[in-house]
Amino acid sequence: MNASTARLTPDVPFSVSHFDDCRNAGSGSVFIIASGSSAKDFPFQAFADIPMITMNGAISMFIDTPIKPFFYVCTDRDFSNQQPELFAQAMHRSERVALWEDHYNSAQVTTSGELYFLRKARKAKFSDLLRKDHELIRNRPFPGTRKKPLGFSKNLHRGFFDARTVAYVALQIAYHAGFNKVFLVGVDLNQNAGRFYEKLHSKLSPCGLDQHFDSRILPSFELMAESVVGKDFAVYNLSPTSRLPRSVIPYKTLDEVQALVHAG
């Protein structure tokens, strides 16, 4: 059965893994492969021995290669309708898949890997904002403001925090899975540049990067940089054109990445 015909029927059972099952399943370096235009310049095969987490249509980079994503994550419930072939490839090729339960059921595409259902971290009670939680890192908006709380989950069993970009979910998965050096590929966050896998006449998925960059995306990365990144968890950006300031996520050249990866 190939990826495009792996359709789920009511008679085909499937098992669901729990995020505790993949806690610390990895170690060392991991690449997060996103869909920004700069990803097309990444020498993919040169790092084939390093685990990779990918998302949405960035799975297209893995097609016609022997490389299987360590994790594939999709938070866009409509992606399987917009890009059915790419979604089917992701379900077929990935070692692990993370998506919404209702999305999996409605898409009716089986996965060859371990299946994990995403859920958001529960809303904080006032008491949660007063105590230290070492697994769910939250900002603390002033009481009475209408700002939505930001956060970073170190334990996906307790849910994840949404930053309006799936790359941020992938970062939380990377931490949960035990990686301590994360390299961002294609995290350009440039809406006008488009996605590397979309062609001139192909169906384009909606994009809200410009709408949410200042209110959700950048503040979430700043929270992570301030409260999560440290001697035990480093994050580097390989995109020379990323909208993320280098003061938040430092930029590294490919030569520097090679040195960091092989430093152990």
Q: Strand (E) positions, the chain?
A: 29-33, 52-55, 71-74, 96-99, 114-117, 136-138, 151-153, 181-185, 234-237
> What tens digit of pLDDT does each residue of 187-224 get?
998 856 555 555 645 555 555 555 668 888 999 999 99
SS3 72: strand
Q: Which residues contact 206 (CB under 8 A, 6 or more apart)?
A: none
> What tens digit of pLDDT does each residue of 27-41 get?
999 999 998 889 988
Supply the pLDDT for residue 174.
98
DSSP character for 146?
-
139, 229, 252 from 122: Cα distances, Å: 14, 23, 35
Residue tagged 């994360």 (tokens): 182
Q: In this structure, which long-range contacts are made by residues 50-56, counting pairs with CB atoms below 8 Å and at least 24 apart in sequence?
A: 50/261, 51/26, 51/179, 53/170, 53/173, 53/174, 54/90, 54/94, 54/170, 55/166, 55/167, 55/169, 55/170, 56/83, 56/86, 56/166, 56/205
**Is the pLDDT score of 55 beyond 70?**
yes
Q: Which domains does the chain have, with CATH numbers?
A: 14-262 (3.90.1480)
**Is the pLDDT score of 94 beyond 60?**
yes
Supply the pLDDT for residue 130.
63
| Percent of the chain at pLDDT exceeding 70 | 80
pTM confidence score: 0.88
